[in-house]
Amino acid sequence: MKRLIRECIENLTPYPPGKPIEELERELGIVGSIKLASNENPLGPSPKAIRAIKENINNIHRYPDGSSYYLRQKLAKKFGLPMSKIILGNGSNELIKVIVHTFLSPDDEVILSLPTFLLYEKVVQSFEGKIVTVPLSNFWIDLPAILTAVSSKTKIIFINNPNNPTGKALKKKEISHFLNSLSPDVVVVLDEAYIEFATDPKVVSAVELLESYPLLVVLRTFSKVYGLAGLRIGFGFTSESVIEGMNLVRQPFNVNYLAQVGALAALDDDKFVEKTLTLTRDGLEFLYSQLDRIGLKYVPTQTNFFLIKTPLGAGETYQRMLREGVIVRSMESFGLSDYIRINVGLPEENKRFVKTLEKILS
- pLDDT score, position 7: 74
Please write down the HEC assignment for all residues of 142-202.
CHHHHHHHCCCCEEEEEEECCCCCCCCCCCHHHHHHHHHCCCCCCEEEEECCCHHHCCCCC
Average pLDDT, the chain: 95
| Averaged pLDDT for residues 174-191 | 97
- pLDDT score, position 214: 96
pLDDT band, very low/low/confident/very high, at 21 (cuts 50, 70, 90): confident
Give the start-end residues of each E strand in the chain: 34-35, 86-89, 109-114, 130-135, 154-160, 187-191, 216-221, 234-237, 298-299, 305-309, 326-327, 329-330, 339-343
Pairing of strands 34-35, 216-221: unpaired
Q: Measured on CA atoms in the order 176, 181, 183, 189, is the torsion positive or negative? A: negative
CB atoms within 10 A of CB 288: 14
Across 70-94, b (16+ Cβ under 10 Å) vs e yields ebbebbbeebebebebbbbbbbbbb
| Averaged pLDDT for residues 290-307 | 98
Chain centre distance of CA 95: 12
Residue 2 has pLDDT above 90, yes or no: no
Chain centre distance of CA 298: 20
Which of 219, 217, 157 is CA-nearest to residue 182? 157
Do 227 and 280 touch, CB atoms closer than 8 A? no
Q: How many CA atoms lie within 13 A of 216 on its CB side?
A: 21
Share of the chain above pLDDT 90, in %: 90
| Averaged pLDDT for residues 301-319 | 97
Share of the chain above pLDDT 70, in %: 98
9-18, 118-127, 224-233, 245-254: lowest mean pLDDT where?
Answer: 9-18
Residue 13 has pLDDT above 90, yes or no: no
Residue 97 has pLDDT above 90, yes or no: yes
Torsions phi, psi for 109 (to 5 deg): -100, 140
> CA 226, 232, 235: angle at the middle one, nearest 5?
75
Q: How many CA atoms lie within 13 A of 187 on its CB side?
A: 27
- pLDDT score, position 17: 64
Domains, the chain:
17-45+270-361 (3.90.1150.10), 48-266 (3.40.640.10)
- pLDDT score, position 18: 62
Pairwise CA distance, residues 165 & 333, whole Å: 11
Which of 176, 197, 192 is CA-nearest to residue 306? 197
pLDDT band, very low/low/confident/very high, at 29 (cuts 50, 70, 90): confident
Residue 20 has pLDDT above 90, yes or no: no
| Averaged pLDDT for residues 78-102 | 98
pLDDT band, very low/low/confident/very high, at 31 (cuts 50, 70, 90): confident
Residue 48 has pLDDT above 80, yes or no: yes
| Averaged pLDDT for residues 64-83 | 97
Residue 24 has pLDDT above 80, yes or no: no
Do 302 and 203 touch, CB atoms closer than 8 A? yes
Do 277 and 225 touch, CB atoms closer than 8 A? yes
- pLDDT score, position 8: 75
SS3 133: strand
Pairwise CA distance, residues 322 & 318, whole Å: 6
Which of 98, 124, 90 is CA-nearest to residue 110? 124
Pairwise CA distance, residues 286 & 355, whole Å: 13
Cα separations (Å) of 108 from 29, 97, 181?
50, 15, 20
**pLDDT tens-digit series, residues 125-179:** 999 999 999 999 999 999 999 999 999 999 999 999 999 999 999 999 999 999 9
pLDDT band, very low/low/confident/very high, at 19 (cuts 50, 70, 90): low
Which of 64, 83, 97 is CA-nearest to residue 255? 64
- pLDDT score, position 1: 66
- pLDDT score, position 16: 63
